[in-house]
Amino acid sequence: MIALIVEDEPMIALDLEAALLDMGFDTVEIALSVDQALEGLAKARFDLVLIDYKLGEQTAEPVIEALAGARMPHIIVTGYDERALPASLPGAPILNKPVTPAMLREAIARLALR
């Protein structure tokens, strides 16, 4: 299985990568910006995408919209309260930071990936 992590904080991205690899994902790619994420999505299909909602000065809404259109499973990972996120976001699981491997495993199970 192949995953993409869209996260602008390298240490958080590496922690998420380690958790996914421990869960049996074969390959995990990291995108540090909206542009990198959209480039990655244009080149490959992912079994799972983890997305930080706020990436620097941008939001990940263009990435989330692309994922919803492509019907790729995704989980939003954010430091924001869920009520602070736009109501217009497609219905994806939302995990609040800091994310533990157990939280991630449970969210992935809800997506029926494993």
Instruction: Give, as one character, the DSSP assignment of residue 53.
Output: S
Number of domain units in the chain? 1
Place of tokens 């990291």: 30
Q: Is the pLDDT of residue 68 over 50?
A: yes
Task: Report how far residue 106's alpha carbon sits from residue 48's, in angstroms, rounded to the nearest whole number.
Answer: 14
Give the model's confidence band at 110: pLDDT under 50 very low, under 70 low, under 90 confident, else very high: confident
Domain, as residue range, for 100: 2-110
60: CATH: 3.40.50.2300
Q: Is the dihedral of CA 113, 93, 55, 104 positive or negative?
A: negative
Whether residue 94 is predicted with pLDDT greater than 90 in this model: the reply is no
Fill in the DSSP letter of residue 88: T
Statement: residue 114 has pLDDT above 50: no
